[in-house]
Amino acid sequence: MTLAATTPRDPYASRFADEWEAVKREDPIVWGDGDGPLCRDELRSYGTEGYLPLDKLIDRQQAAELLREARRLADAADPDKMDVIIEPGGGAVRSIFRVHRTNELFRQVCKSPRVAGIARQILGGEVYIHQSRINFKPACSGKEFFWHSDFETWHVEDGMPRMRALSMSINLTENNEFNGPLMVVGGSHELYIRCVGDTPDNHFQDSLRRQEYGVPPREALELLVEAGSGIAAPKGPPGSATLFDCNTMHGSVGNLSPYPRTNLFVVFNSLENALIEPFGGKPPRPEFLGERDPVEVSQL
């Protein structure tokens, strides 16, 4: 499959045809003028690769405090609540959503000058948190997250208009090659993959455990890997992080190690890119997956 020759009225339309397509991105990657916590070389690398590892986003003491709180939240989590996701085939907690709204420790780190400042610098202005969650990968049993572009889902199922958002995966435990680290395809943010399939009603109820719609076929993944700089798996100690563009193809394998992997995952969106009606024609997903009443980060 080659680049699409024509573009529908919605440049990022997806899940409308029987064959996948790759189309060129129409939006900037770095929207700001360069002022902020990141140096010029870091911004250049982020713009080229679509992701940026940071050796230290928060300090280890803060990461340890957040990890203790994450474990407390997991122990107390109600599996019947919609914003608590359980591992497929088991009872372990996979994700707890909207922690920037429900927990003071996580709210403070999300709105901190360095964390939010990086988002403002890249996205070129005031931002809000589109989504936050703690991702758990239990030792020996944590399941994979299949390859996907977040923007494809956020556009089709949430109504995010343009590619003006980014994610931060902040390591609360060490992320290494054994415990299922985040994997990214360098340069994949430059191409948008239109996926196949008609999104089922209430798709989120299944996709948060195992995603089947909005994922690329093998041929699309091969195209992205060969056109870009290949697959990378940024690793690091507690407090390190990986920033990545909303359209960067990413995923992770299961955790077969005896050590759990726990990350704080925060999505920042520009206030000028607030959600509208979903482009896939279905009702919007619940607000814990996509904030529909954006609040500037500094006002949280």
Banded pLDDT at 91 (limits 50, 70, 90): confident
**Composition of the chain by helix, strand, coil, percent to 5:** 25, 25, 50
At 211 the pLDDT is: 52
* Calpha distance 132→170 (Å, rounded): 11
Helix (H, G, I), strand (E, B) or coil at 157: helix
In the predicted structure, residue 243 carries a pLDDT above the cut 80: yes
* Per-residue pLDDT at 196 exceeds 60: yes
Nearest Cα neighbor of 271 from 161, 167, 128, 118 is 128
Report pLDDT for 88.
79
**Per mean pLDDT, which range of 3-12, 103-112, 197-206 is the poorest?**
197-206
Q: Which two tokens stand for residue 4?
A: 């699409």
Q: What's residue 197's pLDDT?
A: 81
Q: b/e map of 108-122 (b: 16 or more CB within 10 Å)?
A: ebbbeeebbbbbbbb
For the record, the structure tokens of 143 come out as 């399941």
pLDDT tops 90 at residue 227: yes
Percent of the chain with pLDDT over 90: 80
Give the mean pLDDT of the chain. Answer: 91
pLDDT digits (tens, 9 = 90+) for 259-273: 999 999 999 999 999
Instruction: Tell me which of 71-75, 84-88, 138-142, 208-212 is least confident.
Output: 208-212
**pLDDT for the residue numbered 200:** 60
- Point out the least confidently predicted range of 53-57, 138-142, 185-189: 138-142
Record the tokens describing residue 122, joined without a space: 């890249």
State in words which class domain 21-292 has.
mainly beta
Q: At 221, which helix (H) or strand (E)?
A: helix 218-227
pLDDT band at 204 (very low <50, low <70, confident <90, very high): very low
Q: What is the pLDDT of residue 207?
A: 44
Beta bridge partners of 133: 97, 265
Question: Do the beta carbons of residue 194 and residue 1 sit within 8 Å?
Answer: no
Q: Does the structure show a pLDDT above 50 at 21?
A: yes
pLDDT winner (highest mean) among 135-144, 190-199, 274-283: 274-283
pLDDT score, position 212: 59
CA torsion through residues 66, 292, 211, 195, sign = negative
For residues 281 and 173, the model is more confident at: 173
Rounded average pLDDT over 180-193: 97
Indicate the range of 135-144, 206-215, 279-288 predicted with least confidence.
Answer: 206-215
- What is the predicted pLDDT for the residue at 5? 46
CB 44 within 8 A of CB 59: no
